[in-house]
Structure 1
């Protein structure tokens, strides 16, 4: 009993001296911000974005690596499949990636993002082979959030120093763009559509289906199951999107292997355990309980 009281006192002293004054500091090398160029160039907009990230991620933004995502960056991976071209005054969405967070990939999206949901971002990122990290997305004004995916993927490249293959980027962006277009064309909710897309992708992946007509039939089946009504044209576009996602899975898996050690080590080293501190102090003072 006396030994345990002594150990608890030592732990308390250690925390008081080491932890309380300095606080818990994340590894800022594993935190990256990408600003949409429109938000970055406007001091008021940038302040709104910075305040959101500082509050949500609890990091000192002065010590965080950052990049600006331009319309040209977004257009490189969007115009080829969707025909969309963004102007420099249209890139508001900004993203922060924190690889210090434990667990699987999580995404938090501000209310300013009107179309793309956290689940849609996660689905697209998983299609690209990304499985870990905590992502925050915001915009200083209402925005669809479509361009933010380019920023999120840039965050991962910056934090891991590993480039995502261009065909994998294109497939992930096409997934986001196609879902956004379907939402705009129909009354289907983002959550219902994302559930359908996830289930279709899972079935196509498990059975390694590459035939377009078969994928269309699968989409139709799930649409009936979930009572989702989307046009034949949207179904065709979605089938093409899922085909492309499936076609790049070898490259996505190769990328996933390249970053797995980085993401895993970031996740495992990012936090601290009171049990770990407790046991370490016991060992230092040779105390057995």
Structure 2
């Protein structure tokens, strides 16, 4: 009897610990920001009706009163980045504007977005000029993930707003370069994102005046991160950042937002773990193992 009473107390404690987070989540989902309006849901044109319903569920956007819904088409791909008019658009996104916090990207079902990571999206979107937004990406079937970028552009080009055409195009090129380096050159995706971020940081600090200066920064960062690239891939990377330099993108602002994203996530984790991430997760594992052992003991 004492064991049962103890177990009830533990279960009640767990419920009380989880409840505030669940309640907070429910409340946030139902609040419309009067400054920016409803979140924008952008669905790929090639999706069937049932696939669109799947995406709405994945992105928690089933209530039409809580989101503004759009469809991203091959025509949008042509208009925003000069893409292929015969492309099929599958990957979709929900965009929630914020006053601050930088760009936070979450691929909700990464098993279906095969080439593009959260960090790759964030890097490209900051290059395109997107600021302060929570962006969720999903697809009901396996796709590369590239078309989601055009859908996000569309969400930022409605209601009288507009992103710079040249920046959107070079951001799309950046995403292509990132996925090419990961797929063709065999570099870890996280390492690719780190490389792109560090090159941006160096360009912000050194303000290169020539293509040769950009090439030097690229080479230094490749050496720093112990990444080996073919001469062709080095040239591809240099040309990408040379084009960005020509557009006079404020890399300092871009880098600050990236650092803010990483810093916020690390800060939240440190608050929970006290800075001891490994020890925290081990204690969680031990707690639930002990809980399971206790439950088994009730029946022995």
Same fold flag (TM > 0.5): yes
> Counterpart in 2 of 1:284?
none
- Cα 1:44–1:164 shift into 2, 3 Å: same
Report 1 or 2 for greater relative contact order, CA contacts < 8 Å, sequence distance ≥ 6.
1
Mapping for residues 19-30 of structure 1, pairs under 5 Å: 23=27, 25-27=30-32, 29-30=37-38
CA deviations 1:56-102 (Å, max 9, x no partner) are xx7734441121111222134444xxxx62634x2111011012586
From 36, 44, 54, the equivalent of 1:48 is 54
Is residue 2:136 matched to residue 1:130?
no
> Counterpart in 2 of 1:32?
40
1:168 and 1:252 in contact (8 A); partners too: no
- Cα 1:100–1:194 shift into 2, 3 Å: closer
1:129 and 1:252 in contact (8 A); partners too: no
CA deviations 1:224-251 (Å, max 9, x no partner) are 2212122211111111111222222359
**Separation (CA, whole Å) in 2 of partners of 1:170 and 1:253:** 20
**Separation (CA, whole Å) in 2 of partners of 1:181 and 1:115:** 9
**Separation (CA, whole Å) in 2 of partners of 1:251 and 1:203:** 12
**Separation (CA, whole Å) in 1 of partners of 2:206 and 2:252:** 17
Unaligned runs of 5+ in 1: 1-18, 257-289
**Separation (CA, whole Å) in 2 of partners of 1:36 and 1:59:** 16
Is residue 2:168 matched to residue 1:162?
no
Q: How many residues align?
A: 225
> Counterpart in 2 of 1:16?
none
**Separation (CA, whole Å) in 2 of partners of 1:252 and 1:96:** 26
Higher alpha-carbon deviation: 142-151 or 245-254:
245-254
Mapping for residues 220-239 of structure 1, pairs under 5 Å: 220-239=219-238
TM-score by length of 1: 0.69
SS in 2 for 1:193: helix
SS in 2 for 1:249: coil
Unaligned runs of 5+ in 2: 1-22, 255-300
CA deviations 1:186-216 (Å, max 9, x no partner) are 1101110111111111111222214222222
> Counterpart in 2 of 1:219?
218
SS in 2 for 1:38: coil
SS in 2 for 1:131: coil
SS in 1 for 2:116: coil
> Counterpart in 2 of 1:270?
none
1:127 and 1:249 in contact (8 A); partners too: no
1:215 and 1:239 in contact (8 A); partners too: yes
1:171 and 1:248 in contact (8 A); partners too: no
> Counterpart in 2 of 1:273?
none
TM-score by length of 2: 0.67
1:33, distance to aligned residue in structure 2 (A): 1.1
RMSD: 2.8
SS in 2 for 1:157: coil
SS in 2 for 1:135: strand
